[in-house]
Amino acid sequence: MQAGVAYRFFEKGRFDLGQTAILYYNYHQFTGSDLAIISEIAVNYKLPKQFFMGINLGAGYLGKIPADKVYRLNAEGDYYQVRPFLSMATVPLSLFFGYEFKNGISPFIMYSYNIQFPYNKTIIMIPADNLLAGIMIKRIHNKKNGDQ
């Protein structure tokens, strides 16, 4: 599940450049739960017939709760169970394709590839990928009425 906002700060012809702010939650039965806050630079290209495509590159924070139980060894040589919470950085690269209706609603599909690091002392970074289908809702500014 993902929610976010995007702001376009440069538009020229079919291209626009913007920035996103995203909050997402993901659960997988084998790897556990993820909660992330990400910001991305977005480059969009408007195709003919109201289709669009783009690429995003960003960075963010990822909190991970593993699905498996984790044990640690204490000084006496006994194992004890801990409830770990892993804090990591994440670098996502996303490709997306969509269609924009005249009312500003845009269904899209996005493939995102993320590098998450540092995972632990022996595995420095891990890759993760996601396929997302969603809807963007464009807020249209009306300059005649004084909206900014």
CA dihedral 83, 26, 24, 19 (to 10 degrees): 120
What does DSSP assign to residue 138?
Answer: P
Tell me the residue range of the domain where 41 lies.
2-145
Whether pTM > 0.85 for this model: the answer is: no
pLDDT at position 31, please?
79
What does DSSP assign to residue 121?
Answer: S
Closest Cα to residue 129, out of 143, 141, 142, 111?
Answer: 111
pLDDT at position 140, please?
63
Distances (CA, A) of 85 to 1, 34, 59, 92, 96: 20, 10, 20, 21, 31
The contacts of residue 77 (CB under 8 Å, 6+ apart) are none
pLDDT at position 144, please?
56
Instruction: Spell out, as residue ranges, where the chain has pLDDT lower than 50.
Output: 146-148
The pair of three-digit structure tokens given for residue 40, joined into one six-digit string: 């991305």
Q: In the chain, how many domains are there?
A: 1
pLDDT at position 44, please?
94
pLDDT at position 106, please?
93
- Cite the beta strand spans of the chain per DSSP E: 2-12, 15-28, 32-46, 51-65, 70-73, 79-82, 86-99, 105-117, 126-137
CA distance linking residue 132 with residue 121, whole number of Å: 31
pLDDT at position 147, please?
46
